[in-house]
Structure 1
Amino acid sequence: MKERNLKILKGLLSVLILVGIIFIIKKLNIFSGNSTKNIEDFVKSYGSLAPIIYIIMFALVPLTLFPDSILAITGGILFGLLEGYIYTTIGAMIGGSISFYISKILGRDFIKNIAKNKLDKLEKIIEDKGFVIVILLRLIPLFPFDVISYGAGLTSIKYKDFILATLIGTIPGILVFTNIGAQWVNVGKSSFYLSIAMLIGLIVISIFMKKRFLSKDLREE
């Protein structure tokens, strides 16, 4: 009985924290307008703290359903390819971890309200194939980053396997999107068109991998 009460208390506390964070995000209009320019101006306004603010924003993406690709491109605009990649990766790891543990703490019913009906088959395939399937899903940018994290948290996959698979699987996607941002100042030059070609290549490969390695039911989800 004591253990059950503790679990309920944990759940309530987690919900209150989440609601508080979401309220602050909305109050500050951090993700308003879905525009790289809006985000760029917001992050720049913090001066030397800009990298920390950017990482925090990326970490909070799972609670907002904001397109993380837009944020990654903004990271490239703000910090260049190398620093943009590093900060985006740190933010993505923290954000993925938050989603993973939200699922662990709050459970299936709560998470399904966030991710709608996208978790049923995803949860099963991660449960069956664990580490390998998380890497594969991360390599497919067309598959929602946050949904994978929420789904993994509902399975028995170990956190260390989940986070390592996430780190490895997100390398191509983060590099491509931050590179587009980094090349933004070179519009009209060959380096910019190369970054767009890399994005197209990533999408084509993602579609191929999705059709080749994922079941029809999971593709439709």
Structure 2
Amino acid sequence: MKYTPQTHKPTWWRHAPLAIIATVAFIGAFTLSDYLTFDTLQANREALLAFRDANYPAMAVIFIAVYVVIVAFSLPGAAVASVTGGFLFGLALGTTFNVIAASIGACAIFLAARWGLGQALSTRIEASDGTLKRLKNGLHDNEISFLFLMRLVPAVPFFVANLVPALVGVGFVNFAMTTILGIIPGAIVFTWIGVGVGEVFDRGGRPDLSLLWEPQVIGPILGLCVLAALPILIKALRGNRDI
């Protein structure tokens, strides 16, 4: 389902959600970077485990809510939150909670961006006849493949993969679907690190996020990237044959 721009809302009202997110993200970058860290997790791990054991459902809800806020407002600490999910809930539930929270937060910032700046930008691109419109049309022709690639390629920052699709008017259903499925491989890796983080702290070490770049981990992810890119390549080759 494609997004149809509407222009009857006041400009300030349409831009308010994204403006609020940008403001909170700016403030959070300077005020929370020293708190949402692995050192904070290490210092509070016993208290977190005790609360989890006494209030498991409440801890799950609180964890998901905090993670949603971190992602929706592009706050620092998303990697720490993912590792914490594995530390508190194990691989299966931790991955599930991480995917749920990250997906909800991503959809929230996508809708905020699309409702405001994305709406205006998409309308201007659609009204143009230049390169931007051709690029937008090409993206829409391969929408799901491009969205999967943005999720799977580790070099693409998470907030970029949330904002760019909103600014070019991709369909929300496709965005939500590719977000949920596309972040699962990375979520498994970060949650897996979190499962063993207690032992790492006991040894006086810190979680090694470079595990994502190990051949046995990055190899399958790159393989998924190739699969996601195949439809784009096939369409391009067919287009060249028809010329």
> Per the shorter chain, which TM-score range?
0.5 to 0.7
Match of 2:166 among 153, 165, 182: 153
Residues 91, 191 of structure 2: 8 Å contact kept = yes
- 2:236 is aligned to none
Q: CA deviation at 1:103?
A: 1.6
Residues 74, 181 of structure 1: 8 Å contact kept = yes
Matched, 1:50 2:59: yes
Structure 1 length normalisation: TM-score? 0.67
Match of 2:183 among 167, 170, 176: 170
Q: CA RMSD in A?
A: 4.1
Provide the identity percentage.
23
Instruction: Write the deviation string for residues 87-113 of structure 1: whole angstroms up to 9, x where unpaired.
Output: 1111111111012112212215999xx
- 2:97 is aligned to 87
Match of 1:183 among 178, 196, 208: 196
Q: CA deviation at 1:199?
A: 5.5
The structure whose RCO (Cα within 8 Å, separation 6+) is larger is: 2
Q: Report 1:71-150 matches (<5 A).
A: 71-108=81-118, 124=136, 126-150=139-163
Which consecutive residues of structure 2, in runs of 5 or more, have no partner in the other structure? 1-5, 122-131, 203-208, 231-243
For residues 6 and 140 of structure 1, the distance between their equivalents in structure 2, rounded to whole angstroms, comes to 36
Q: CA deviation at 1:33?
A: 3.7
Residues 76, 181 of structure 1: 8 Å contact kept = yes
Q: CA deviation at 1:58?
A: 1.9
For residues 207 and 103 of structure 1, the distance between their equivalents in structure 2, rounded to whole angstroms, comes to 29
Structure 2 length normalisation: TM-score? 0.62
Aligned residues: 196
Which consecutive residues of structure 1, in runs of 5 or more, have no partner in the other structure? 112-119, 189-194, 215-221
